C-alpha cells in the first residue's frame, strides 16, 4: 500500500499496491483552501445534486453521471478537486497514479487496471486515476505499443462496466492526446486554467490568512503573481512569509517580489 490510512475499516485491496487511500477526514483536511472557478464549482454542485436524487433519475430512466475528467495546466487544482469531491460525497479516495501502474508492472498493466476497477466496484469510493495521459504517451518499442493498446481496451471495458456507488475521476495535462473513445466515456468534463485576477486575489487572501500584512498587500501580490499557477503562488507566499518572520515584520510587497524572483517560476 502506498499510504496507510488511519481508517482500519477500509478493506485492503490485494494486488493494487500502487494505490493510496485517504479517508474522508484526510480528504477534508486537504481542501480547506481550495479555490474552484465558478464554472467548475457549478459542475461539481450539479454532480452532487444528481447523486442525491438517484431515485428520480431512475424513474425517468436517465443514467446517473459517475465519470469525471479534469484537464489543464499543472498546479491548477485537478488533484485537489478529487479530494474535494470525495469530501463532499463523504467517500474515501483511492488515488492511483496511472504512470506508476504502467511503469512498475509492464506486461501486467491491463490486469492491474482491472483489479483497481474491481475494487472500486465492490467498495464505494472515489477512484481517482491521476496522470491519466500516461496511457497516451507515444511508445517507440513495439511490445509497448501492443501493451498500451491492451490497456486502452481494458480501460474502455472497465469504464463501460463501471457502476454502483463509486465515482471515477481522472486528471490529465494533455487532454488532446487522450484516445477519443476514452474521452467519450466521461459524462462530466472540467477544464482548469491559470487563475485570473479575482481568483489570485481570493487564493492570496486564503494563503495570507491571519498573518500581519501591510495595507493593500493582497491586490499588489495578485498583480505581482500574474501568470503563476496556484501551486506556484502557494510556494511564493510561503517563502515571503518566512522572510517576514525572520525580520519580525509585517508581510510586505517586497517580500513577495523577492520570493517571486527566488522561486524562478517556469514560464
Is residue 253 near ligand ATP by the rule CB under 6 A? no
Q: Which of 5, 10, 28, 34 binds ligand ATP (CB under 6 A)?
A: 34
* Spatial separation of the C-alpha atoms in residues 158 and 113, rounded to whole Å: 8
What is the C-alpha radius of gyration for the chain, rounded to an integer number of angstroms? Answer: 21
Decide if 78 contacts 231 (C-beta within 8 A). Answer: no
47 binds, among Mg ion, ligand ATP, none (CB under 5 to 8 A by kind): none
Q: Which residue stretch of 51-59, 103-111, 139-147, 227-235 sits at the interface with ligand ATP (rule: CB under 6 A)?
A: 227-235
Q: Which of 13, 50, 66, 79 binds ligand ATP (CB under 6 A)?
A: 79
Please list, in sequence order, all residues whose beta carbon lies within 8 angstroms of the beta carbon of residue 217, skipping any fewer than 6 positions away: 208, 251, 252, 253, 256
Is residue 77 near ligand ATP by the rule CB under 6 A? yes
Is residue 173 near ligand ATP by the rule CB under 6 A? yes
Report the nearest approach of ligand ATP to the CB of residue 146 (Å): 28
C-alpha dihedral sign at 94, 98, 99, 100: positive
C-alpha dihedral sign at 114, 128, 6, 11: negative
Which single residue brings its beta carbon nearest to Mg ion? 79
Q: Which of 68, 69, 78, 116 binds ligand ATP (CB under 6 A)?
A: 78
The dihedrals phi and psi of 233, each to the nearest 5 degrees, come to -60, -40
Q: In whole angstroms, what separates CA 163 from the centre of its chain?
A: 21
Which residues lie near ligand ATP (CB under 6 A)? 33-35, 74-80, 171, 173, 192, 203, 230-231, 234
Amino acid at each position: 500500500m502506498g499510504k496507510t490510512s488511519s481508517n482500519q475499516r477500509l478493506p485492503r485491496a490485494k494486488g493494487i499496491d500502487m494505490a493510496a487511500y485517504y479517508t474522508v477526514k484526510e480528504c477534508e483536511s486537504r481542501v480547506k483552501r481550495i479555490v474552484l472557478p465558478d464554472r467548475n464549482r457549478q459542475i461539481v454542485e450539479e454532480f452532487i445534486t444528481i447523486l442525491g436524487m438517484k431515485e428520480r433519475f431512475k424513474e425517468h430512466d436517465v443514467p446517473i453521471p459517475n465519470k469525471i475528467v479534469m484537464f489543464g495546466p499543472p498546479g491548477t487544482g485537478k488533484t485537489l478537486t478529487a479530494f474535494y469531491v470525495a469530501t463532499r460525497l463523504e467517500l474515501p479516495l483511492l488515488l492511483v497514479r496511472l504512470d506508476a501502474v504502467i511503469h512498475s508492472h509492464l506486461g501486467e498493466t491491463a490486469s492491474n487496471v482491472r483489479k483497481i476497477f474491481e475494487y472500486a466496484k465492490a467498495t464505494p469510493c472515489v477512484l481517482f486515476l491521476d496522470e491519466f495521459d500516461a496511457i497516451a504517451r507515444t511508445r517507440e518499442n513495439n511490445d509497448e505499443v501492443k501493451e498500451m493498446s491492451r490497456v486502452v481496451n481494458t480501460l474502455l471495458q472497465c469504464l463501460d462496466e463501471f457502476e454502483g456507488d463509486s465515482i471515477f475521476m481522472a486528471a490529465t495535462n494533455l487532454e488532446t492526446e487522450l484516445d477519443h473513445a476514452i474521452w467519450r466515456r466521461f459524462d462530466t468534463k472540467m477544464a482548469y486554467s491559470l487563475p485570473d485576477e479575482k481568483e489570485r486575489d481570493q487564493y492570496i487572501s486564503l494563503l495570507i490568512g491571519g498573518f500581519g500584512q501591510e495595507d493593500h498587500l493582497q491586490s499588489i501580490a495578485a498583480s505581482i503573481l500574474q501568470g503563476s499557477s496556484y501551486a506556484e503562488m502557494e510556494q511564493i507566499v510561503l517563502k515571503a512569509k518566512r522572510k517576514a518572520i525572520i525580520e519580525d515584520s509585517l508581510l510586505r510587497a517586497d517580500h513577495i517580489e523577492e520570493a517571486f524572483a527566488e522561486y524562478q517560476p517556469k514560464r
